[in-house]
Structure formats: structure tokens, C-alpha cells
Amino acid sequence: MALQIVDLCVNCWACVDVCPNQAVVEDVPHFLINEQACTECLGDHAEAQCAAICPIEGAIVNELGEPLNPPGSLTGIPLDKLRELGLLDREAA
């Protein structure tokens, strides 16, 4: 059981500092989660800490590949607006 960082990540370090398991590692082109170390914060926190601070929608996904912060959930930009601007498909891809 582990979360994953995908290539939407902007390498802002926020998750590195808040992970209780030091599971986030600096890498190129983007940070990665060590799946051996990641517990999804179960037992430590009510929310997975990386996903609770990550500013980028879609950058952190669960084992099923589902984003913990889906489009529109952090910025508050309506989905229709994202679709109209052509930003929805790119983010979801």
C-alpha cells in the first residue's frame, strides 16, 4: 500500500518536509515515493500528508491511479471552465 507521485509534480519539496516516514525522495525529473516506506500515513494522520499539502491537482495518486486531489479540487476552478480552456484532458492524462 503506497501512494505515487506522477509527472505533474513540480518538485516543490512540500511533501518531503511533511512525510512522517521520509518516504519522498528527490529524483529527476520529479520526486518519487518509496513504496516500501509509504504507509499512506495510516496510524499517523487522518490525511495522507503529501496529498494534504501538495498544490498540484492530480500529482499524487493511489494504487488504482486515482488522484487524491482531482481537477478543480485545489484551485476551485469549475470543471466546465477547465474543460473550456483545454486544461482538463491534459491534467487527467
Partner 1 sequence: MELPVISNAPSSGGGCSSSGCGSSSDAMAHLPDSIRQKVQDHPCYSEDAHHYFARMHVAVAPACNIQCNYCNRKYDCANESRPGVVSELLHPDQAVTKVLAVAATIPQMTVLGIAGPGDPLANPARTFETFRQLSDKAPDIKLCLSTNGLTLPEHVDEIAKHNIDHVTITINCVDPEIGAQIYPWIYWQNRRLRGVEAARILIEQQQKGLEMLTSRGILVKVNSVMIPGVNDEHLKEVSKVVKAKGAFLHNVMPLIAEAEHGTYYGLMEQPSPTPEQLQALQDECGGDMAMMRHCRQCRADAVGLLGEDRGAEFTLDKLADMDIDYEAAMQTRQEVRENLLEQLAAKRAGAPAAEVTALAGVPADSRPVLMAVAAKNGVVGEHFGHAREFLVYEASPKGVRLMGHRKVDLYCNGATDCGDSGEGGQPAGSILDQIIHALSGCEQVLCARIGFEPWGQLEAAGIQPNGEHAMEPVEDAVLAVYREMSAAGKLAAPADKLNKVA
- In angstroms, the CA 82 to CA 68 distance is 18
To the nearest whole angstrom, how small is the minimum distance from the Cβ of residue 85 to partner 1?
Answer: 6
- In angstroms, the CA 15 to CA 5 distance is 10
To the nearest whole angstrom, how small is the minimum distance from the Cβ of residue 55 to partner 1?
Answer: 4
To the nearest whole angstrom, how small is the minimum distance from the Cβ of residue 90 to partner 1?
Answer: 11
- In angstroms, the CA 90 to CA 25 distance is 25
Binding site for partner 1 (CB under 8 A): 10-14, 16-18, 45-47, 49, 52-53, 55-56, 74-77, 81, 85, 87
Nearer to partner 1, 12 or 92 (CB): 12
Rg (CA), the chain: 13
- In angstroms, the CA 89 to CA 55 distance is 18
